[in-house]
Amino acid sequence: MRIEEELKLDYTDVLFRPKRSTLSSRKDVDLNRTYKFKYSNNEWSGIPIMAANMDGVGELGVAEKMSEFNMITCLTKQHDIKKLKQYKKIKSIYKNIALSIGIKKEDFDNLDKLLKEFNFIKFICIDVANGYSERFSKFIKSVRDKYPTKTIIAGNVVTADMTQELVLNGADIVKVGIGPGSVCTTRIQTGVGYPQLSAVMECADAAHGLGAHIIADGGCTCPGDVAKGFGGGADFVMLGGMLAGHDEGRGKVVKSNGSKFIEFYGSSSLEANKKHYGGLSDYRSSEGRIVRVKYRGKIKDTISNILGGIRSSCTYVGAPSLKQLSKCTTFVRVSNQFNDTFLK
């Protein structure tokens, strides 16, 4: 047994230190980025925030709105040919969607069918809870070999060594985060995890050294956390819980004590397993929970609020654009993030 003594940080452990700036207004801050991906050579421009491939978030209705802001949505694994064919506007959002798959043989075959029909879709998200297996790396390699011009997102991992491993096996973008998610119970069930800000900083460093990109996936609870993800070096930030509870996600509505809620659950929760796979296998336990999110109306209002927050973070640290944010970032370590007197 070994203990790593070096302190690792979560979003809650830091704040941005404000800096002198010449920016006059937050509206001048440019949040758009243009990335060219390592293997696919595809170029993408937009605001690098992603909707997670979770039920109620990674949905076509959400993708439509996200795409209006030039943001990406990773569709859930349940988006098959039938579902995509029924959606008539696919050609207007194709640049900003990713198809999600697992690592079974049938996932590979389904992807093939999907890409024959929708060959204009450019992003493939190969998503497993634990990206540390050899099988996962081999699977990425097989997808890379078959689709040299697709941009491959792969995860999740939380350390530099495995980020490099995934990139060297063909991932253009590595998804980073184990255990920080709003409906994730991995840390409770397994005791495994890594503080998210440190994971982002360390994996970004590893990926950027190889000309690849990373996504900070999970753990954002407010716009400030999203900004901290970018400040820590993330190229993209992926959101689940912060985008849940809206009309566009079409989740199950529950009324309680005169208030409206929308059910939201983890992709490895019992609910998700029952819904998509007919239950949990005997040898597995659920690593996700179900919650009721207060109904939040239209997603565009939430998105605008998030973008307003990030613009303001950039202004505070003197970054004229999102691209400059991490260079302008000095984090101060804190033991108290905000005053919650009236939230208790």
| Per CB under 6 A, 12 contacts ligand 5GP | no
| Per CB under 6 A, 183 contacts ligand 5GP | yes
Which of these segments, 13-21, 110-118, 217-225, 325-333, binds ligand 5GP (CB under 6 A)? 217-225
Catalytic residue, from 74, 125, 184, 328: name it. 184
| Per CB under 6 A, 239 contacts ligand 5GP | yes
Question: Which residue in 328, 298, 296 sits closest to 310, CA to CA?
Answer: 328
Show Cβ contacts of residue 244 under 8 Å, excluding neighbours closer than 6 positions: 54, 56, 57, 182, 251, 262, 264, 293
| Per CB under 6 A, 245 contacts ligand 5GP | no
Largest CA distance in the chain: 60
Contacts 24+ apart (CB under 8 A), 287-290: 287/129, 287/184, 287/185, 287/186, 287/189, 287/190, 288/181, 288/183, 288/184, 288/185, 289/183, 289/184, 289/185, 289/265, 290/183, 290/263, 290/264, 290/265, 290/266
Q: Give whichever of 93 and 242 is closer to ligand 5GP, judged by the CB atom.
A: 242
Nearest distance from C-beta of residue 217 to ligand 5GP, angstroms:
5
Query: Judged by CB under 6 A, which of 71, 287, 299, 329 binds ligand 5GP?
Result: 287
| Per CB under 6 A, 315 contacts ligand 5GP | no
For the chain, state the CA radius of gyration. Answer: 19
317 touches 16 (CB < 8 A): yes
Of the chain, the end-to-end C-alpha distance in Å amounts to 40
| Per CB under 6 A, 52 contacts ligand 5GP | yes
Please give the residues from 119 up to 138 whose contact with ligand 5GP meets the rule CB under 6 A. 129
218: left (phi over 0), alpha (psi -120 to 50) or beta: left
Number of residues that bind ligand 5GP (CB under 6 A): 25
Question: Which residue in 285, 232, 240, 333 sits closest to 17, CA to CA?
Answer: 333
| Per CB under 6 A, 216 contacts ligand 5GP | no
Nearest distance from C-beta of residue 275 to ligand 5GP, angstroms:
12
| Per CB under 6 A, 181 contacts ligand 5GP | yes
Look-up of token digits 């307003």? 308
Query: Judged by CB under 6 A, which of 151, 169, 186, 273 binds ligand 5GP?
Result: 186
Q: How far is CA 304 from the centre of its chain?
A: 18
Nearest distance from C-beta of residue 74 to ligand 5GP, angstroms:
8
Please give the residues from 57 up to 86 whose contact with ligand 5GP meets the rule CB under 6 A. none
Query: Judged by CB under 6 A, which of 48, 131, 195, 218 binds ligand 5GP?
Result: 218
Q: Give whichever of 170 and 266 is closer to ligand 5GP, judged by the CB atom.
A: 266
Query: Judged by CB under 6 A, which of 128, 238, 307, 314 binds ligand 5GP?
Result: 238
d(CA 75, CA 79): 7
Q: What is the DSSP string of 25-37?
A: -GGG-B--EEEE-
Q: Is position 184 annotated as part of the catalytic site?
A: yes
Catalytic positions are 184
In the complex, the residues that contact ligand 5GP under the rule CB under 6 A are: 52, 54, 129, 156, 177, 181-184, 186, 217-220, 238-242, 266-269, 287-288
